[in-house]
């Protein structure tokens, strides 16, 4: 049985996604940008995140777009990541591209 490509190519992140380890996360993402054209991030269920993580992911999205690379979350934001997005006012200012990236909401007609 073949494992779908998206599963074995995803980058698994640690359970703590905060300012304390943002340098480590940055290095990990930077390495992936150099070696891949498609980057899929897997955030553990129950991960603890803060605003620095959201900022890092937003910066990575912009970098990927400017370099013509694909950058996605393996599943919609939930738990503390979703709470950070809400508290920081991101969700209320999302455009369709943001909603698709963070919440996996596709355009519906």
Return the higher-pLDDT residue of 8 and 15.
15
Give the pLDDT score at 91: 95
Class in CATH terms, 5-103: alpha beta
Whether residue 2 has pLDDT greater than 60: no
Each residue's pLDDT tens digit, 41-98: 999 999 999 999 999 999 999 999 999 999 999 999 999 999 999 999 999 999 999 9
Find the helix or strand (DSSP H, E) in which 60 lies.
helix 51-66
With vertex at residue 15, the alpha carbon angle to CA 13 and CA 19, rounded to the nearest 5 degrees, is 85
Return the higher-pLDDT residue of 107 and 30.
30
CB-CB neighbours of 24 under 10 Å: 10
- Kindly state the tokens that stand for 77: 């934001």
Stated pTM of the model:
0.85
Q: Where are the domains of the chain?
A: 5-103
């Amino acid at each position: 049985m073949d494992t779908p490509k998206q599963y074995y190519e995803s980058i698994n992140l640690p359970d703590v996604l905060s300012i304390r380890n943002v340098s480590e996360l940055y290095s990990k993402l930077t390495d992936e940008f150099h070696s891949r054209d498609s980057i899929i991030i897997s955030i553990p269920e129950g991960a603890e995140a803060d605003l620095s993580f959201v900022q890092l992911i937003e910066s990575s999205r912009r970098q990927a777009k400017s370099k013509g690379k694909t950058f996605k979350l393996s599943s919609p934001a939930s738990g503390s990541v979703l709470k950070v997005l809400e508290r920081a006012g991101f969700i209320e200012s999302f455009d369709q591209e943001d909603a698709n990236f963070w919440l996996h909401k596709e355009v519906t007609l």
